[in-house]
Amino acid sequence: MTPENPPIAARKSHVNEAHGVTWDDPWHWLRDPNYPEVDDQEVLGYLKAENAYFDAAMKPHEGLVESLFQEMKGRIKEDDASVPIKDGDWLYWSAFKEGTQYRDWYRRPVGGGEEALIYSENAEAEGKEYYRLGAFAVSPDGRLLATLADDDGSERFKLVVRDLATGNDLETVTKVGIGNPVWTSDSAGLVFTEVNDQWRSYRARYHRIGDDPALAVTIYEEKEDIAFSVGAARSTDDSLIFISTGNNSSSEIRFVPANNPTAPLTMIRPRAPELQYDADAAHGTLWILTNDHHVNFSIATADPAKPGEWSELVAGSDRTYLRGITSHRDHLLIAARVDGLDQLLLRDYASGATERVPFAEASYSASFTGNPEFAPDSYRLAYSSMVTPATVYDYHPADKRLEVRKVQEIPSGYDAGQYVTERVTVTARDGAKVPVSVLRRKEFAKDGSGKLFVYGYGAYGLAIPPSFSTSRLSLVDRGYAYAIAHIRGGDDLGYQWFLDGKLKARNNAFNDFVDVTRGLIAEGYARAGRVAAHGGSAGGELMGAAVNQAGELYGAVVADVPFVDVLNTMLDDTLPLTPGEWTEWGNPITDKAAFDLIRSYSPYDNVEAKPYPALLITGGLTDPRVTYWEPAKWAARLRATKIDDHLLLLKINMGAGHGGKSGRWNSLHELAEAYAFVVTQIG
């Protein structure tokens, strides 16, 4: 098979009907009726043909792929270790060894002593095409380790308990776990969550160590709303176990004593449409982050004996977006964002005084991370910017001091002085001011002669931070300006920024991305056709909508695991994520207006007979989030409809899911392929 002869998927009429509208879906057959098993030989044959075509098209560029891979690999310290974290009587850390794909996990006693390897991802992954460690939780007494691992990309994790003294696995608690297992405070058992056949986290259970796992007690099962998913967490002071349920816009939390998980659950506040809240516990008080009074959230307190009676502690603000709280012994830690910039705040319980951890750069990404203890002397932070490598700090509040614990090493060398990061504001077509973070070399000339790479996501309230990446330097060093478009649908500028890009306002996200591209072209970063774009999952939907709307702007587009068959997926409530997604996209089953809107932008349904840019589309056969047939159907329709000869490649990972191949080198090689595709199409 040669790049001149791409595979052509057969057309088979399949008529759909909803709200009095009928339409044909001629590539519906690419969905195996036995899914999640995929054994239809015609389906598999087509996917394998597309993969063979991908291989044939990329073969002449193997040297470029390898060069990019080696460049990116050369910037990664092979034998790298994390900064140890104190938790009880032990220090814990993970490390990569030279040549390995995965982490190994270690610990040593606080105060000194021998280090011990307690878990090897490399050993667990040996002989497996795919491996992912989803959770790692040591019991409070330090004797037992609970892990969740996925070995096929389906995101159904096996929960195993290991004796750390012997290294022997004691029991497999479940094979369909998800989330994080939560130890009881007496280390006697685990609270864990499971997914059902539709891959919905639907119940929380308690397993007592040593008992038959089949006898695990169901603490809570979500039966009221198929769109709600269940989670579990332990309060920072270790007094409570929280059982949460909710969807993308509503939440409801119950709790039990952490030493008695089968006690009756106590509800904090019943669910209500659009009511969101999260909770922690310290000093006999519930600390609650909620949107009940302000779209950007506020902080309230409650007595655990009267958990539904909330007293406002920190009022909501139009400018300050409150994103997370953690209640430690001495401070309430608050993660916030002001004018799109991360703020890390420490609030004193007694005085109410709040201090901000200071950072010097004008644009950066910062977060609290790795603070498992209730009463630490310092707080662990993660920091980077588009020009500053990832840095781990400990912040010492007693003397208001930032201590550098680790700076990301770049073995092949990195000179920050050769690069410039800037914050650009583009005015969208409706007047909204959309921020854009740009990384470029100092000598990059904004005269239209350069090349531009624009990344976007724009959904679920997930911001794309202006953080550091060694990989993107391979594009920037080849003359590209790398831009992150902070479009609506993310929460970059506050929660309202998210609301302004979902449901009825969904087109704002697509328009923002196109308008950012046009704005950067007008600023001289590149000319039309010399722009590459990249997005994955919901960002892949963004790519599909952008090329339907303004494909002439782009010379190459990479759409990873793209959510492009939006209408058909949202009409099918048997699919894993559909019911939980209706609060994000709308329910076209019951709402004709939602049906009409989704049908108007769904990338698969709006492919036209016109030129499209070169496209690289990826998918995963076991992906439960964006099912493999979405990218496959989209590629098939594009091949049959577009009127250009630009390269279109579809690559389906036959042994992986939503995140692509596992292992740090395998995933890096896939990124090298994507960048090689861009470079060969744009220059």
Catalytic site residues?
537, 623, 658
* CB-based burial label for 487 (10 Å; 0-12, 13-18, 19+): buried
* CB-based burial label for 349 (10 Å; 0-12, 13-18, 19+): middle
Task: State how far the Cα of 587 lies from the Cα of 571, in Å rounded to an integer.
Answer: 8
CA angle 362, 365, 368 (to 5 degrees): 130
451-455/480-485 β-pairing: parallel
Helix (H, G, I), strand (E, B) or coil at 441: strand
The distance in angstroms from the start CA to the end CA of the chain is 25
Task: With CA atoms as reference, report the closest residue to 97 among 79, 83, 119.
Answer: 79
Task: State how far the Cα of 351 lies from the Cα of 397, in Å rounded to an integer.
Answer: 15
Task: State how far the Cα of 77 lies from the Cα of 96, in Å rounded to an integer.
Answer: 9
Please tell me the number of Cα atoms within 13 Å of 451 on its side-chain side: 18
Task: With CA atoms as reference, report the closest residue to 337 among 497, 206, 468, 228.
Answer: 497
Task: State how far the Cα of 231 lies from the Cα of 251, in Å rounded to an integer.
Answer: 11
Within its chain, how far is the Cα of 437 from the centroid?
19
Task: With CA atoms as reference, report the closest residue to 437 among 365, 540, 360, 532.
Answer: 365
The residues pairing with 321 across neighbouring beta strands, listed in sequence order, are 337
> How many beta carbons lie within 10 A of that of residue 60, not counting itself?
10
* Residue 491 contacts residue 462 (beta carbons within 8 Å): yes
* Residue 357 contacts residue 366 (beta carbons within 8 Å): yes
**Which contacts of 65-68 are long-range, i.e. CB under 8 A and separated by 24 or more positions?**
65/669, 65/672, 65/673, 65/676, 66/672, 68/474, 68/672, 68/675, 68/676, 68/679
